[in-house]
Amino acid sequence: MYTALLKPNDLIMGLALAHGGHLTHGHQTETKKISASSHYFRSEPYYANVETGLIDYDALAAKALECKPNMLICGASAYP
């Protein structure tokens, strides 16, 4: 049986807040962890293309292969 439970300090990857993601996707600044999820998990954001406003799925895939997150969050709250 497969269980998809995260453990503290696992890496999550979600759309950056300023690019349409949600605060709960591990939002943090360079100096401060903002959301509760960023306190429990390591977080790595991915971004929308600034020219098109769309997620570059090739860049996202490359970053995910590089970072190897335990969870990739694909939801968004303000993404077009």
> pLDDT at residue 62 above 90?
yes
Q: What is the pLDDT of residue 1?
A: 52
Q: Cα separations (Å) of 54 from 11, 13, 27, 51, 70?
A: 24, 17, 20, 8, 24
Question: How much is the mean pLDDT over the chain?
Answer: 85
Q: What is the pLDDT of residue 76?
A: 64
Of 39, 47, 37, the residue nearest 71 (C-alpha): 37
User: By percentage, how much of the chain surpasses pLDDT 90?
Assistant: 38
Q: What is the pLDDT of residues 11-50, one digit of tens each?
A: 999 998 888 888 777 888 888 888 888 888 999 999 999 8
Q: Domain boundaries in the chain?
A: 11-72
